[in-house]
Amino acid sequence: MKLNVSLQEALDWFLGAPLRVVVILILAVILQKVATRAITKALAKVAEADFIPGEKSSVTRQRERARTAASVLNSSSKAVIGLIAGAMILGELGVDLGPLVASAGVVGFAVGLGAQTIVRDVFSGIIMLVEDQYGVGDQVDVLDVKGTVETVGLRITTIRDRQGTLWYLRNGEILKVGNKSQKPRG
């Protein structure tokens, strides 16, 4: 069967860049699902592992930390996979990526300078979670605030004081913490 010239050109065009873009998108979605599942399974095992034999009071806190870490890793994997897939798609569409990468470096540097406090807050939050300095429900003294920890996030910790005020504290600004709820180890 012989196709007319314009139909053959349309078919050739579709089997070129558009088909490759669709394949890239499908592979990115599959890769993201696999990454999310792997991260979730791995950190579920970490959450249930008994690293410190003895009291089980730390298991709840360990689960919270694992859930937070899974959220961060899933978001990071989505960003990396999306960035790579986007660059591949732009390359398939004939966009010259050289100037885009160069300008992204300059913009990234400018944003990095402006976002130093956010980055410091997030890194401090990660360190605080890894070191298990405090958790939800703990009675703490942080800066000039004394109260109960309500939420622990990567960037912000919220504490309700005895008068009922909810304080939002940036993790990068927390230099000293007194935790009245943690029992001595040993």
Q: Are residues 109 and 138 in the same domain?
A: no
| Strands, sheet with 145-152, edge to edge from the N-terminal-most edge strand | 166-170, 156-161, 145-152, 139-142, 177-179
Q: What does the pLDDT read at residue 118? A: 83
Tell me the pLDDT tens digit for each residue of 79-109. 889 989 998 898 888 888 888 777 777 777 7
> Which CATH number does the domain housing residue 110 bear?
1.10.287.1260
Q: What does the pLDDT read at residue 1? A: 54
Q: Are residues 93 and 153 in the same domain?
A: no
Phi, psi of 16 (to 5 degrees): -90, -115
Tell me which of 18 and 7 has the higher pLDDT: 18
Does residue 151 fall inside a structural domain? yes
- DSSP of 51-75, one letter per residue? SS-S-SHHHHHHHHHHHHHHHHHHH
Residues 152, 67: Cα–Cα separation, whole Å: 12
Of all residues in the chain, what percent carry a pLDDT higher than 90?
23
Tell me which of 9 and 122 has the higher pLDDT: 122
Q: Which pLDDT band holds residue 139 (cuts at 50, 70, 90)?
A: very high
For the cut 90, the answer to whether the pLDDT of residue 31 exceeds it is: yes
Q: Are residues 148 and 101 in the same domain?
A: no
> What's the number of domains the chain is made of?
2
Q: What is the mean pLDDT of residues 167-178?
A: 91
Q: Which domain range does residue 31 map to?
A: 5-114
Write down which residue in 63, 85, 114 finishes a domain: 114
Q: Are residues 39 and 81 in the same domain?
A: yes
> Which CATH number does the domain housing residue 161 bear?
2.30.30.60
Tell me the pLDDT tens digit for each residue of 54-78. 555 566 767 777 777 777 788 888 9
Distance of CA 139 to the CA centre of its chain: 27
Mean pLDDT (the chain, rounded):
82
Q: Are residues 138 and 69 in the same domain?
A: no
